[in-house]
Structure 1
Amino acid sequence: MKQICDICPITTISDHMENSEVLHPKSYKRINQATTIAVAEGDGIGPEIMRATLNILKAAGANIKTEPIEVGQQVYLSGNSSGITEESWKTISKNKVILKAPITTPQGKGYKSLNVTLRKSLGLFSNVRPVSSLHPYVHTNFPEMDIVVIRENEEDLYAGIEHRQTEDVVQCLKLITRPGCEKIVRYAFEYARAYNRKKVTCMVKDNIMKLTDGLFHTVFKEIAAEYSDIESNAQIIDIGSAKIAASPENFDVIVTSNLYGDIISDIVAEIGGSVGMAGSANVGKNVAMFEAIHGSAPDIAGKKIANPSGLLNGAILMLAHIGQAEVADKIKNAWLTTLEDGIHTADVYQKGKSTKKVNTEEFTEAVIERLGQTPKNLTPSTISKGSGTITIPEYHRKESEKQLLGTDVFIDWKGSDPEEIGNALNQIKAHNLTLKMITNRGVKVFPNGMKETYCTDHWRCRFISKQSTILEKSLQYGEVEYEQIINLLATLHQEGFDVIKTENLYEFDGQRGFSLGQGE
């Protein structure tokens, strides 16, 4: 397959693939009429950089129409806790393509992130953030870096499921699903193959989170085996992030979960020159959204000094997505030429190296003046010279034999002595269940805990079948009936224990589906 361009997930339709999701569902290249884009001006510097971006697109001859949508701070403050109006949802559903400037989520009052809402509600499972060096025109210590971060966009901790459970403890659920892992990992390898990338690196923390991050890593290894033409490896997220910051030229495509990807992509953008320069694509089966990766920067709003490059690069990705690759090349090359000529906004201005410090409008005019020009030293954009298809197979769930082996009962208890609560629970008539252990913040404190372990008021109490046995120093769990757990909970309530949640313990095809306590 021909190399396309490493800045955009451009795809075309493939009609012969059965039971697959082909990104994207429309072949915009076959449509001569203008493509209507849902446009969100955003908050802070949003309106300024959106105006600049649309002016450049218009001057370059982009065949688009724009339809505004209301999102962001003013919608929140009007009493709409979602940050988006019902009419805007209808506009997005109709047009399928969004160009969005940064928005501000008001602090406090439990407002949900609109970015997360849009990505999850619209099924925008893949966040693609390419960053390459613009050395020497934009300062970086890494002139050879050229990285694409592909981030899962719908789940992980960004599901935002949080609860306060006791006076001391709040929790956030980390949700990782097999279909979510399969889609994003497959997308990363398909992207690498389509764009002639050589290596895909998986970033996880499965030495600690053996089930959640372990699933992501397992799926990565399964899918990597299907792409023998592409090098693959995995790294633990903490040392992997350090290696990105120290030697980004050693990375090519990175695929990871939602939170890690958010952090890594900002690291990559910053060491590449500036977070303000990078754009991103949020890709789904039916809808795609394009944006800058930076925030709304209210501290400089209205000062006319904002750099529109991030949103402009997002718009370039959008043009390629809707089949206007020639216009995308034209704009990208004009932008690169502007940077080569040393015309820079304040955030990337280098005294003695830049030739002119400009404001937002002046930078916009400089790009427009260079439309039709090609950079002399930076690599020209060649999106229009390639084509490719990214195909995501339909997910098929594999049925597993599921057995109930016990339950973790979480209790709000204000004492500090694990022996006291442990002995009290051992007195409970537990319906043929037995207390195996108690943990506090994941550390086993009963039986035989360490006196030095600090305990909060949040106690995980694991009950298993009395028929469970120890075989060769490992526990063989006995099967439990659900009614036993219901009766246990009723008894605990009657005895005055404050049960705040339960998590049942299951085995799937003979494999344990729950973590052990530290020290267990």
Structure 2
Amino acid sequence: MSKKKITVAKGDGIGPEIMDATLSIIMAAGAQIEIEEIEVGEKVYLSGNTAGIAKESWDVIRRNKVFLKAPITTPQGGGYKSLNVTTRKFLGLYANVRPCMSLSPFVKTKHPDMDLVIIRENEEDLYAGIEHQQTDEVVQCLKLISRPGCEKIVRYAFEYAKQYGRKKVTCFTKDNIMKQTDGLFHQVFDEIAKEYPEIENEHWIIDIGAAKMSDTPEAFDVIVMPNLYGDVLSDIAAQIAGSVGLAGSSNIGEECAMFEAIHGSAPRRAGQNMANPSGLLQGAIMMLNHIGQPEVAEKVQNAWLKTIEEGIHTYDLYKEGTSTKLVGTKEFAEAVIANLGGKPNQLKPVSYKVGDSIKLPKYVRRQPAKKDLKGADLFVHWGGTNPDELAAMLKPIESGDVKLTMITNRGIKVWPEGFEETFCTDHWRCRFKNKNGENISKQDIIRLLGEADNKNIDVVKTENLYQFDGKDAYSLGQGQ
């Protein structure tokens, strides 16, 4: 087998120690890899690079396609961007995969039968990071959900379940409230689920789904969800399985992939030979499967399970009565290496099949829908409190049949016929539509904006209201 060249970054804090431990284990197990090291993280940030990575390092990552990364430290303030988020988005790493399995009774957990995988969309949602302050009192963050993004992550979840012998895929969204964004994610899930009749599928509203996962995680197998929900719940799942410190993740794209621990750089523990390398080791095992070396991945995982089972634990796992030996980072790695070729007795040994990396078909753009402009929402910065007064200010800017039909504040309808008890900020959504239900034109919107400016009405944003194939594609006001 020819060696696969991979990119390695040892990171910050405990990163160098756990990376050295991880590499020593997988190399001892026979991993056929060649390492090309780059520097990313705190030193690069503090040298004046707000991205935390040099252009030359990007070239190395893109050339090698596979990136094993230790945790890094992002300095506070100064406009420093998260390297994790940047890497995922620049390299199109659309799928974040986090297995969460209990190791009971050797690692304490209330959920001894837990064995699930969270697959999280990685590029969009609120993590697009598009934020604006619009008034003295209100800031906004745009939640972007795309059909290509939904199709890729949902299809990946079903393909993952198929490849790893999983029986069920569950979708978590909040589409009872966010009917457009989360509604699209749920719709695409239902469409794609039909292509996999052999795999059970279900949908949960995120709040009750999260409660169920926290209480009865064994009810789930593979869970797929948008970015923010997945970020939160994958950490919860890792913790209730036993420890966030034991979990690794893969970030998969069409061309490149990144593998890492899910915990941070823990600078207070740096250089003390205390840190548990298990999270990064789990990321490396996923990497070995990804690059077509499942027999090495299997050997490492079974040796790791055997070591955990023997009670050889770092400080974070050590418990009197269940642990047998307290070890440091290097000694833990040595114990895993000594167990290579062995298997656990009580914990379930793993068996990884030889298989290709999951490859999805290229996204095919659909025939464009018929798109009709039905109105516009003008967002107004106004310091008053009585929506009737604002409506009186806006009535004179009406043009022809284009009339003011509604005012909301933080999404709640306050005019016409609002409640006096509703608290209002200085940020008002003012909806203008044709009174006969007909289309309006872009010129109608320009005229509205021009008249608003003439009357010193501060319009901070506009949103066009469209129908696609005759279906309204915008939200009503709460209370409509």
TM-score range (shorter-chain normalised) is: over 0.9
Q: Contact 2:312 / 2:326 at 8 angstroms: preserved in 1? A: yes
Kindly provide the CA deviation profile for residues 439-482 of structure 1, in whole angstroms up to 9, marking residues without a partner as x.
111111111111111111111111111333xxxxxxxxx20111
5 Å matches for 1:165-314?
165-314=134-283
Given the alignment, which residue of 313, 331, 348 partners 1:379? 348
- How high is the TM-score relative to the length of structure 1? 0.90
User: Which amino acid in 2 is paired with 1:393?
Assistant: P
User: Which amino acid in 2 is paired with 1:506?
Assistant: Y
Q: Contact 2:292 / 2:354 at 8 angstroms: preserved in 1? A: no
Compute the displacement of 1:36 (Å).
Answer: 1.2
User: Which amino acid in 1 is paired with 2:282?
Assistant: N
Given the alignment, which residue of 308, 326, 332 partners 1:363? 332
Given the alignment, which residue of 361, 378, 383 partners 1:393? 361
Kindly provide the CA deviation profile for residues 106-149 of structure 1, in whole angstroms up to 9, marking residues without a partner as x.
22233221111111110111111111121111111111111011
Secondary structure of residue in 2 paired with 1:393: coil
Alignment partners' CA distance in 1, 2:372 and 2:318? 62
5 Å matches for 1:330-479?
330-383=299-352, 385-387=353-355, 390-398=358-366, 399-468=368-437, 478-479=438-439
Alignment partners' CA distance in 1, 2:276 and 2:50? 30
Given the alignment, which residue of 431, 435, 440 partners 1:480? 440
Where does residue 502 of structure 1 map in the other structure? 462
User: Which amino acid in 2 is paired with 1:227?
Assistant: Y
Kindly provide the CA deviation profile for residues 290-338 of structure 1, in whole angstroms up to 9, marking residues without a partner as x.
0011111223222221110000010011111111212111111111111
Say yes or no: does 1:38 pair with 2:7: yes
Q: Contact 1:194 / 1:389 at 8 angstroms: preserved in 2? A: no
User: Which amino acid in 1 is paired with 2:454?
Assistant: Q
Alignment partners' CA distance in 1, 2:383 and 2:77? 29
Q: Contact 1:37 / 1:97 at 8 angstroms: preserved in 2? A: yes
Which is worse superposed, 456-465 or 104-113? 104-113
Secondary structure of residue in 1 paired with 2:204: strand
Alignment partners' CA distance in 2, 1:426 and 1:172? 29
User: Which amino acid in 1 is paired with 2:198?
Assistant: D
Where does residue 138 of structure 1 map in the other structure? 107
Alignment partners' CA distance in 2, 1:150 and 1:328? 20
Alignment partners' CA distance in 2, 1:183 and 1:249? 26
Q: Contact 1:202 / 1:233 at 8 angstroms: preserved in 2? A: yes
Secondary structure of residue in 2 paired with 1:438: strand
Give the CA RMSD over aligned residues.
1.3
Alignment partners' CA distance in 1, 2:398 and 2:25? 74
Compute the displacement of 1:397 (Å).
Answer: 2.1
For structure 1, the 5+ residue unaligned runs are 1-31, 469-477
Alignment partners' CA distance in 2, 1:482 and 1:104? 47
Where does residue 17 of structure 1 map in the other structure? none
Q: 1:75 to 1:388 in 2, by over 3 A?
A: closer
Alignment partners' CA distance in 1, 2:457 and 2:37? 55
User: Which amino acid in 2 is paired with 1:142?
Assistant: H
Say yes or no: does 1:60 pair with 2:29: yes
Secondary structure of residue in 1 paired with 2:360: strand
Q: Contact 2:290 / 2:357 at 8 angstroms: preserved in 1? A: no
Compute the displacement of 1:222 (Å).
Answer: 0.7
Give the count of matched residue pairs.
Answer: 479
Say yes or no: does 1:81 pair with 2:81: no
Q: Contact 2:294 / 2:354 at 8 angstroms: preserved in 1? A: no
Q: Contact 1:431 / 1:487 at 8 angstroms: preserved in 2? A: no
Where does residue 326 of structure 1 map in the other structure? 295
Q: Contact 1:194 / 1:388 at 8 angstroms: preserved in 2? A: no
Where does residue 492 of structure 1 map in the other structure? 452
Compute the displacement of 1:394 (Å).
Answer: 2.1
Which is worse superposed, 89-98 or 388-397? 388-397
Which is worse superposed, 186-195 or 510-519? 186-195
Compute the displacement of 1:387 (Å).
Answer: 2.7
Compute the displacement of 1:340 (Å).
Answer: 1.0
Alignment partners' CA distance in 1, 2:248 and 2:415? 51
Alignment partners' CA distance in 2, 1:493 and 1:105? 43
Alignment partners' CA distance in 1, 2:455 and 2:257? 54
Q: Contact 2:160 / 2:358 at 8 angstroms: preserved in 1? A: yes
Which is worse superposed, 291-300 or 257-266? 291-300
Q: Contact 1:431 / 1:488 at 8 angstroms: preserved in 2? A: no
Secondary structure of residue in 1 paired with 2:397: coil
Q: Contact 1:128 / 1:150 at 8 angstroms: preserved in 2? A: yes
Compute the displacement of 1:406 (Å).
Answer: 0.7
Alignment partners' CA distance in 1, 2:264 and 2:232? 14
Alignment partners' CA distance in 1, 2:305 and 2:175? 40
Alignment partners' CA distance in 1, 2:357 and 2:242? 31
Compute the displacement of 1:388 (Å).
Answer: 5.5
Where does residue 66 of structure 2 map in the other structure? 97
Secondary structure of residue in 2 paired with 1:390: coil
Compute the displacement of 1:245 (Å).
Answer: 0.7
Secondary structure of residue in 2 paired with 1:415: coil
Kindly provide the CA deviation profile for residues 221-268 of structure 1, in whole angstroms up to 9, marking residues without a partner as x.
111111111111000111111111100111001010111111111111
Alignment partners' CA distance in 2, 1:304 and 1:390? 37
Alignment partners' CA distance in 1, 2:311 and 2:186? 44
Q: 1:154 to 1:513 in 2, by over 3 A?
A: same
Q: 1:78 to 1:431 in 2, by over 3 A?
A: farther
- How high is the TM-score relative to the length of structure 2? 0.97
Alignment partners' CA distance in 2, 1:435 and 1:111? 43
Where does residue 92 of structure 2 map in the other structure? 123
Which is worse superposed, 450-459 or 367-376? 367-376
Compute the displacement of 1:82 (Å).
Answer: 1.4
Which is worse superposed, 98-107 or 294-303? 294-303
Secondary structure of residue in 2 paired with 1:500: strand
Alignment partners' CA distance in 2, 1:424 and 1:276? 58
User: Which amino acid in 2 is paired with 1:308?
Assistant: P
